[in-house]
Structure 1
Amino acid sequence: MSDRTLGTFPDLIDPTAGIAKHLQLQNILRRFVEQRGAAGSAIPSERELADHFGVARMTVRQAIDALVADEVLERVVGLGTFVARPKVDLQIKLTSYSEEMHRRGMVPDARVLSFEQIGASHLVARELQIDHGQPVIRFRRQLLADGEPMSVDENFIPAVHVPGMLDEEPPTSLYRVLSERYGMLIEWGEDTIEATAASASIARLLNVELGAPLLKIQRHAYVSRSMVDYSVSYYRADRYKLWVPLQRPGMRTPRSYHPGRHPGS
């Protein structure tokens, strides 16, 4: 595999060009990824690249380090270096997962892990501001995009708000069911975002290594002043980047901006 890949590099290092060798190699690798590199495919090892281009391993490492920093390549400990898969910009909105994935041109899917009524644990009761043991609907899913695991979501809803919910099939869009069937349009919410490491069970569901970095988001969602949903989500850090628009209070936004969109595009 590596030999075939090396044979596809049309350029070589020019020692007379007056440009540092690691910069030349960086440009060669970048062009290769842009033109021929499939997302998730491996590139040759540092030793193979050093032998092919006639440069030191340190020169190769400098070029790869720069491309990893630019999110063109990604390293996986123990496996090698790969063409980076594009990250989804995680915008914090009160919309459903399926709506967000459709907007990005991806095919959403979900695997239901649990859909049941349980008594609220001390933690869930505290977060929902209800009594310990009060019935809640627990809805846990593995969310996918284009067939690949992206996140694990777990929602807790006081059962008193959603009578008969378990009599139907698990919803494909929770917020839509809350709105259309129960008249509860989620109006606002509060998110807490933190970095965490994948536990054994979450790692299996997300197809990542044990201890891999994740984004953990806890949400409290409200209808008026009433909290109707508490959720905990674990997002793959290698597939998401967090985009948070900022604005000074009292100032108008001069133009619309979206990550990855350049002026005039």
Structure 2
Amino acid sequence: MSPRDGQQQAQETPRRRAAAGAELPRKLSRRSPKGEQLRTILEDLIDALKPGDPLPSERELAERYDVARMTVRAEITRLAGEGLVERVQGRGTFVAEARVAQAAALSSFTEDMRARGLKPGSQVLGQGTVAADDLVARRLGLEPGAQVVRVRRVRTADGEPMALEEAFLPADRFGALAEEEPLEGSLFTTLEERFGARFPVADQQVVAVEIVGEDANLLRVAPGRAGLKFHTILIDADERPVAYAWSLFRGDRYEIRLRQERRP
């Protein structure tokens, strides 16, 4: 083992020891089901640790609390499904990176990331004029086959892929965008400042999907991982569509938070 390996192991040992037991109750009580208590213990532990910190192994938890391995595995699986932990084959279970929550107000990806202290970025995959298919034409109020500008990008936060995005705009209004430099910044800002467009409202639909094929490669996730797909239509003051876009976000890095009111 090299000195560097020894130093790294020395640095990680206290963290692993803390995760393995120092922050955990010594035993379960008899007042509530063991699985329910284990769930609370793990959630509290995750709150106390940092992203990337390891959790105790299934065997350690099962032995410590005298519960079945299947009970422990079920709770870890639930935490992984909620995006709180990440399993790494052959290494263990680790606290996941914090998710980015969508703001309630209409804002661009760039604005969202900056508001959360993250550096937004883009990898442009394609930018040019194409014929609108039936879906795009319908959402933009155009005839099928009409010319639209398509901008396809991977959106990043602090250099890591966060979302895959495709935006479509009527070419008769925004055709110049197809001839310009690849769009790396905010589409909203470009439409407002470069073309004088205004879109005070947007219609948006969100669906849960699996990320597969090329999309999984671009977002650097395993095929079949959960994703959130946004379909957004920007609408001007005259109720005319300005642009239609879909965005596929990594489910392990992005969430939606809503505050709702119950009407009397």
Q: TM range, normalised to the smaller chain?
A: 0.7 to 0.9
Q: For residues 56 and 167 of structure 1, do their structure 2 counterparts lie closer, same or farther at Cα, with a shift above 3 Å needed? A: same
What amino acid does structure 2 have at the position aligned with 1:91?
A: A
Please tell me the root mean square deviation across aligned C-alpha atoms, in Å.
Answer: 3.4
Contact 1:196 1:216 in 2 (8 A): yes
Q: For residues 15 and 134 of structure 1, do their structure 2 counterparts lie closer, same or farther at Cα, with a shift above 3 Å needed? A: closer
Which residue matches 1:149?
161
Which ranges in structure 2 are unaligned for 5 or more consecutive residues? 1-8
Which residue matches 2:249?
235
What amino acid does structure 2 have at the position aligned with 1:131?
A: E
Which residue matches 1:113?
125
CA distance in 1, matches of 2:170, 2:160: 31
CA distance in 2, matches of 1:106, 1:54: 39
Do structure 1's residue 61 and structure 2's residue 72 form an aligned pair? yes
Which residue matches 1:255?
none
Which residue matches 2:150?
138
Which residue matches 1:258?
none
What amino acid does structure 2 have at the position aligned with 1:192?
A: Q
CA distance in 2, matches of 1:203, 1:81: 21
Contact 2:129 2:148 in 1 (8 A): yes
In terms of mean alpha carbon deviation, does 57-66 or 192-201 score higher? 57-66
11, 17, 22: which one aligns with 1:7: 17
220, 229, 232: which one aligns with 1:207: 220
TM-score (norm 1): 0.77
For 1:146-180, what per-residue CA distance to the aligned partner results, in whole angstroms no more than 9, with x for missing partners? 22211111100011111422232233111111111
- The structural deviation recorded for 1:49 is 3.6
Which residue matches 1:122?
134
What amino acid does structure 1 have at the position aligned with 2:158?
A: D
- The structural deviation recorded for 1:62 is 8.1
What amino acid does structure 1 have at the position aligned with 2:122?
A: A
219, 239, 243: which one aligns with 1:225: 239
CA distance in 1, matches of 2:81, 2:131: 47
Contact 1:198 1:212 in 2 (8 A): yes
Contact 1:138 1:157 in 2 (8 A): yes
Do structure 1's residue 164 and structure 2's residue 176 form an aligned pair? yes
Aligned residues: 247
For 1:6-55, what per-residue CA distance to the aligned partner results, in whole angstroms no more than 9, with x for missing partners? 534336764697777778866765665445x331344232114445x373
Q: For residues 192 and 63 of structure 1, do their structure 2 counterparts lie closer, same or farther at Cα, with a shift above 3 Å needed? A: closer
TM-score (norm 2): 0.77
CA distance in 2, matches of 1:91, 1:225: 23
CA distance in 1, matches of 2:165, 2:245: 7
Partner of 1:93, secondary structure, is coil
Do structure 1's residue 244 and structure 2's residue 262 form an aligned pair? no
Q: For residues 122 and 77 of structure 1, do their structure 2 counterparts lie closer, same or farther at Cα, with a shift above 3 Å needed? A: farther
CA distance in 2, matches of 1:64, 1:86: 19
In terms of mean alpha carbon deviation, does 142-151 or 72-81 score higher? 72-81
For 1:45-85, what per-residue CA distance to the aligned partner results, in whole angstroms no more than 9, with x for missing partners? 2114445x373444971894598299694254966532132
Contact 2:54 2:93 in 1 (8 A): yes
Do structure 1's residue 196 and structure 2's residue 209 form an aligned pair? yes
Which ranges in structure 1 are unaligned for 5 or more consecutive residues? 252-265
